Amino acid sequence: MLLPQYWGKEYGGSIAKAMVQQARLSKLKRLTAIIDPSNIPSRKILINLGFESQKLCEIDGLPGEILFKALETENC
């Protein structure tokens, strides 16, 4: 989460990109993100990083969207 004064300054995209890179280094096979579906900027960041929407649902009484990204593995 970022405080509102930092929204729209590209921090979210940079942080998300670094997290995906770290997940690859950790040899994770899949990432899952949960967002408020009305948070269009967060959704845009994830879609631009290759995440795909899996489902819209209620999570703890609040609207939610679950997105996933399969991480490619490198063969040696």
Tokens in use for 54? 């899996």
CB 33 within 8 A of CB 65: no
Q: What CATH number should be reported for the domain whose range is 12-70?
A: 3.40.630.30
Mean pLDDT by 10 residues, the chain (76 residues): 90 95 94 95 96 96 96 66
pLDDT of 72: 77
Q: What pLDDT score does 43 carry? A: 96
The 3-state DSSP class for residue 12 equals helix
String of DSSP letters for 41-74: HHHHHHHHTT-EEEEEEEETTEEEEEEEEEPP--
- Write the CB contacts of 40 (distance below 8 Å, at least 6 apart in sequence): none
Domain limits of the chain?
12-70
pLDDT of the residue at 30: 96
